[in-house]
């Protein structure tokens, strides 16, 4: 059931009432208002939970939030051609960085056209433009709906005009990412406006700047998302194809990864981007041919202690192993053993266990020889241990069931060893606890030779079928 929503003005009025009529201190009045609305089931995620400040000593009655005070200062300064905007922009950026509620409130009061006007006023003055873009980046985080045609044209123009400047490029790319996340129309509009070559070019041009590489890869990755619930279908696959085929994206990313072999945050983002681009059989093989597989295997071996890096490498290995030839290449390169090592090292992390089981599941699919390697290295035992460690995580349970099923689907000799490890009880527990495990859990039990209750989804009775 959707929660009720209130306006910022309503919340502030209750806080003010608590102070004026009940003689509460500011902090007490605020706490009381929060508890009152939460007890009524009101969603306060969009509300700035702070006591409004006095705007000026001359007018103590006029109280508002600091983010709006900074915004009003900017609006006033914009009217004067000689006024300096930088300090007001910095204060506004700082306020927007405090949380989504501040950004949302500012957007409700026409912050977006104001900040865009500040960006345009900065022109070619790089320091002023940097401060203005920082404010735009802070404002747009989590608010992709703000983008309009004017903003899109400005953003593409700024990226084009300042593509040799690493700092400005990084800011522009970050704003592109903010506008693209969970907004399919913005993604398509930016792609049509030519953002993809600008993003890949920023990686090759600024390879030595890790922050630019990381932001550009993140933006490319977001272009392949299908995360906007407001549209029936998107262009995620087409955007991935364009990045690979038209912009040579796979080579750009693999080469960038080689240039940042010691930077785990950059490498995590690069691997995440590769996993989003491996959407075709030939793309998976291209990554191997470019040296991406060998690089990822070395990366996994050297970076086993980094949970985030391990998770992204496992995701990338799973993605490229969608190609049957690449499955063999991964196992022959020692990938199977390394995946097991990563799972055992981070058995307490549900996401690593999920990605590890998913990668092994893909490697085992239709590949009896790979199943042999996985069994010999303890893959089945690792999957069952993951099920024990994370009984409430449905994704871990599902991926483990799928892996166990793939291991025995074409290699019945492994049925008894897996059952002796306690697989039947763990799968049955997953079936009882998680509705989403129904199909994969029953399939695993069936292929393990266990008693399984198969559901008859439709019997054909009470229908109007005619023969």
Kindly tell me if the per-residue pLDDT of 195 is higher than 80: yes
> Which whole number is the average pLDDT over 185-197?
98
> Which whole number is the average pLDDT over 124-142?
97
Kindly tell me if the per-residue pLDDT of 60 is higher than 70: no
List the one residue out of 103, 135, 107 whose CA is nearest residue 119: 135
Out of 9, 33, 58, a domain closes at 58
Whether residue 38 lies inside any domain: the answer is: yes
Whether residue 297 lies inside any domain: the answer is: no
Percentage of the chain modeled with pLDDT above 90: 91
Instruction: Convert the pLDDT of each residue in 4-19 to its tens digit.
Output: 999 999 999 999 999 9
**Of 31 and 461, the one with more pLDDT:** 31
Kindly tell me if the per-residue pLDDT of 281 is higher than 70: yes
CATH code for position 415 = 1.25.10.10
Q: Domain count for the chain, please give it.
A: 2
Whether residue 372 lies inside any domain: the answer is: yes
Whether residue 351 lies inside any domain: the answer is: yes
Where does the pLDDT of residue 453 fall: very low under 50, low under 70, confident under 90, or very high at 90 and above? confident
Phi then psi dihedrals of residue 165, to 5 deg: -100, 115
Kindly tell me if the per-residue pLDDT of 458 is higher than 90: no
Kindly tell me if the per-residue pLDDT of 467 is higher than 60: no
Confidence (pLDDT) at 63: 82
Confidence (pLDDT) at 464: 58
Percentage of the chain modeled with pLDDT above 70: 95
Whether residue 24 lies inside any domain: the answer is: yes
Whether residue 248 lies inside any domain: the answer is: no
Instruction: Convert the pLDDT of each residue in 304-362 to its tens digit.
Output: 999 999 999 999 999 999 999 999 999 999 999 999 999 999 999 999 999 999 999 99
C-beta of residue 210 within 8 angstroms of C-beta of residue 173:
no
Whether residue 46 lies inside any domain: the answer is: yes
Confidence (pLDDT) at 206: 98
Out of 58, 77, 98, a domain closes at 58
> Which whole number is the average pLDDT over 382-409?
98
Helix axes of 184-192 and 195-205: crossing angle, nearest 10 degrees: 70
Confidence (pLDDT) at 3: 82
Whether residue 461 lies inside any domain: the answer is: no
Q: What rounded mean pLDDT belongs to the chain?
A: 94
Confidence (pLDDT) at 451: 85
> Which whole number is the average pLDDT over 227-243?
96
Confidence (pLDDT) at 59: 52
Instruction: Convert the pLDDT of each residue in 282-299 to its tens digit.
Output: 999 999 999 999 999 999
Out of 27, 58, 89, a domain closes at 58
Instruction: Convert the pLDDT of each residue in 411-426 to its tens digit.
Output: 999 999 999 999 999 9
Where does the pLDDT of residue 83 fall: very low under 50, low under 70, confident under 90, or very high at 90 and above? confident
Confidence (pLDDT) at 57: 52
Parent domain of 341: 328-449
> Which whole number is the average pLDDT over 264-277?
97
C-beta of residue 212 within 8 angstroms of C-beta of residue 177:
no
């Amino acid at each position: 059931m959707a929660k009720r929503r209130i306006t910022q003005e309503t919340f502030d009025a209750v806080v003010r009432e608590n102070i004026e009529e009940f003689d509460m201190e500011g902090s007490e009045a605020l706490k009381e208002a929060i508890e009152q609305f939460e007890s009524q089931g009101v969603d306060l995620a969009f509300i700035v939970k702070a006591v409004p400040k006095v705007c000026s000593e001359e007018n103590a009655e006029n109280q508002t939030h600091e983010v709006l005070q900074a915004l009003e200062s900017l609006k006033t300064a914009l009217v004067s051609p000689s006024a300096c905007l930088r300090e007001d922009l910095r204060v506004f950026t700082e306020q927007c960085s405090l949380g989504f509620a501040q950004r949302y409130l500012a957007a409700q009061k026409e912050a977006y056209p104001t900040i865009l006007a500040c960006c345009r006023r900065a022109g070619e003055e790089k320091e002023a433009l940097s401060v203005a873009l920082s404010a735009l980046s802070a404002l747009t985080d989590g608010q992709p709906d703000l983008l309009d045609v004017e903003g899109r044209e400005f953003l593409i123009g700024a990226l084009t005009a300042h593509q040799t400047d690493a700092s400005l490029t990084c800011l522009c790319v970050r704003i592109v990412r903010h506008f693209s996340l969970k907004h399919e129309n913005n993604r398509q509009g930016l792609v049509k406006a030519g953002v993809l070559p600008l993003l890949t070019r920023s990686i090759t041009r600024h390879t030595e700047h890790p922050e630019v590489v990381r932001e550009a890869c993140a933006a490319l990755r977001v272009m392949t998302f299908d995360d906007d619930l407001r549209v029936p279908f998107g262009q995620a696959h087409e955007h991935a194809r364009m990045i690979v085929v038209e912009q040579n994206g796979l080579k750009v990313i693999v080469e960038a990864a080689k240039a940042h072999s010691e930077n785990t945050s950059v490498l995590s983002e690069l691997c995440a981007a590769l996993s989003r681009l491996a959407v075709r059989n030939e793309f998976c093989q291209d990554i191997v041919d470019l040296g991406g597989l060998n690089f990822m295997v070395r990366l996994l071996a050297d970076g086993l202690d980094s949970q985030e890096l391990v998770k992204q490498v496992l995701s990338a290995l799973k993605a490229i192993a969608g190609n049957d030839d690449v499955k063999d290449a991964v196992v022959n390169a020692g990938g199977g053993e390394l995946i097991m090592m990563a799972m055992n090292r981070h058995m307490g992390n549900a996401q690593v266990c999920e990605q590890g089981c998913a990668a092994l599941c893909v490697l085992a699919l239709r590949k009896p020889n790979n199943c042999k390697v996985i069994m010999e290295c303890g893959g089945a035992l690792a999957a069952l241990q993951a099920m024990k460690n994370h009984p409430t995580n449905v994704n871990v349970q599902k991926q483990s069931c799928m892996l166990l099923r793939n291991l025995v689907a074409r290699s019945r000799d492994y049925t008894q060893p897996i059952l002796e490890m306690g697989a039947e009880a763990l799968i049955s527990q997953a079936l009882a606890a998680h509705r989403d495990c129904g199909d994969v859990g029953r399939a695993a039990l069936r292929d393990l030779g266990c008693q399984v209750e198969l559901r008859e989804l439709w019997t054909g009775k009470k229908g109007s079928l005619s023969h």
